[in-house]
Structure formats: C-alpha cells, structure tokens
C-alpha cells in the first residue's frame, strides 16, 4: 500500500485540489484508492451532521466505496484552527482517534491510502501535540503541495526541514499556481527545484475560479505519479 500524507506550505494552498488530482491519477491506473481527512474545521451543518467539503471531495474521488464519517471522523463547524474549534465544543482531539480512523481504512487494503492534513505541516491537534507526532505512528511518505505565492520559498524550506528532521521521507512535491500573475514565478520554481531534494511530481497551473468542482481531470493530467510506488 502507498501510504501518502499530503501536506502544504500553508492552509488554502491547494492540498485538497491536488489530493483529488492524485487520487484521480491513481484511479486511471486502476488502483484502489482511499482519501482520508482525519481532522476538518470548516463544515456545513446538515441533517446528516457536520459535512466538510474537503472530505466530500476526497470521498468522491476515492475508488473504494466509503462513508463520509470514515473519510472524516473528526469534524468541527468553524473554519479555524481545529484544536481551538474542539475546545469551543468541549472536546479534545486525540492521537488515538486519528490512528484508529486510519487503521480502519488501511484494513480495507487499498493500493493507495492518501491522508490530507489540515493547514500546514506542524498543525497542533491539542495543546500538547502536533500532527507529526501522530503521523510517526503511521509512517507515511509525505507529499508537499507548494502554493506558488510570495513567501512560498521560506514556507517550503521550513516545511522540508521539519519533515526531514522528524524522520519522514519526502515522496515528492507539487508546484501549485494560485494565480496567473505571480511575479517571477519561473524563477521561484527554479529556486524550489534547487533546494528541494525530492521529485517534482507536477506543476499545476492556475485553473480559474471554482476549480475544485471542475478541475480534477486537468490536475491529474499534470501529475506524474509513476514514481510514487504502489506495492
């Protein structure tokens, strides 16, 4: 099983868009795919409970049939730091529930189990722990989505450094363009290539507004997942 964790240089850099594109790229290779969003903050209250857009997108592009609560076991309504959203409703996010949700999906033996984080790499899950401490139990390979905007060089290099120091393997990174008008975009990309010692899986152009619902096929076209080994 390819056990992949998708992180990003920040919140709102395209982790979900790229994750759905990755799932689609593996689906094209007839792989059994599962997307997992352990923690979400920013949900709609529906008659079925809290529903998160990222989780719905991952569910839609997973080839294995799943329920939304399998994909996203921990959900909070406000679009804020999840551990604070948890505190607001008298809850504490625990490593156990994140690991249990992942293990239940791993037990389905997909070819690809893709986990999307929330925010950037060093996400607090409570006032004592950050998500990488939990991930060290799951031992995923990590894919970094770089949101191409001013500041991404520092954010990328800090992210790479933290991932490596904490003992994870970087499977690759994706350059995701968040606009069409980033100054010196090509030079920024060249700098990232010079510093990041991991394969560039793809460069995704800015795909216009409302990209999430329409763009997954185009994102998949941009991604070369052949080097991300699937046992």
Ligand X SMILES: Nc1ncnc2c1ncn2[C@@H]1O[C@H](COP(=O)(O)OP(=O)(O)OP(=O)(O)O)[C@@H](O)[C@H]1O
Annotated binding site: 12-17, 54, 116-119, 176-177, 205-207
The end-to-end CA distance of the chain, in Å, is 5
Number of chain positions touching ligand DNN (CB under 6 A): 10
Distance CA 213, CA 83 (A): 28
Residues in 102-121 that interact with ligand DNN by CB under 6 A: 118-120
Task: Rank residues 38 and 120 by Cβ distance to ligand DNN and give the closer one.
Answer: 120
Distance CA 55, CA 39 (A): 9
Closest distance between Mg ion and the C-beta of residue 75, in Å? 13
Report yes or no: 164 and 29 within 8 Å, Cβ to Cβ: no
Distance CA 140, CA 7 (A): 11
Residues in 120-179 that interact with ligand X by CB under 6 A: 176-178
Distance CA 161, CA 138 (A): 20
User: Is 37 annotated in the active site?
Assistant: yes
> Bridge partners of 50?
45
Among 11, 32, 191, 212, binds ligand DNN (CB under 6 A): 11
Which residue ranges make up the annotated binding site for ATP? 12-17, 54, 116-119, 176-177, 205-207
- Annotated catalytic residue, options 31, 37, 139, 164: 37
Report yes or no: 111 and 26 within 8 Å, Cβ to Cβ: yes
Residues with catalytic roles: 37
Under the rule (CB under 6 A), what is the footprint of ligand DNN? 11, 41-42, 79-81, 118-120, 123
Site residues (vs ligand X, CB under 6 A): 8, 11-17, 54, 118-119, 176-178, 204, 206-208, 211-212
């Amino acid at each position: 099983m390819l056990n992949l964790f998708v992180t990003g240089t920040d919140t709102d850099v395209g982790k979900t868009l790229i994750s759905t594109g990755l799932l689609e790229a593996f689906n094209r290779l007839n792989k059994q795919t599962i997307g997992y969003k352990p923690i979400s903050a920013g949900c709609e209250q529906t008659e079925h409970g809290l529903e998160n857009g990222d989780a719905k997108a991952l569910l839609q592009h997973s080839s294995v049939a799943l329920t939304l609560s399998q994909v996203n076991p921990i959900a909070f309504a406000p679009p804020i730091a999840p551990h604070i959203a948890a505190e607001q409703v008298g809850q504490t996010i625990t490593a156990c529930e994140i690991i249990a949700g992942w293990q239940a999906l791993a037990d389905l033996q997909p070819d690809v189990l893709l986990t999307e984080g929330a925010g950037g790499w060093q996400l607090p899950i409570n006032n004592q722990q950050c998500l990488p401490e939990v991930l060290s139990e799951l031992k995923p390979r990590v894919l970094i989505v770089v949101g191409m905007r001013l500041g991404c060089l520092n954010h990328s290099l800090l992210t790479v450094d933290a991932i490596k120091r904490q003992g994870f393997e970087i499977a690759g990174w994706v350059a995701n363009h968040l606009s069409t008008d980033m100054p010196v975009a090509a030079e920024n990309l060249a700098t990232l290539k010079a510093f990041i010692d991991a394969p560039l899986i793809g460069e995704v152009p800015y795909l216009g507004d409302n990209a999430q619902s329409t763009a997954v096929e185009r994102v998949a076209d941009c991604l070369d997942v052949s080097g991300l080994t699937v046992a």
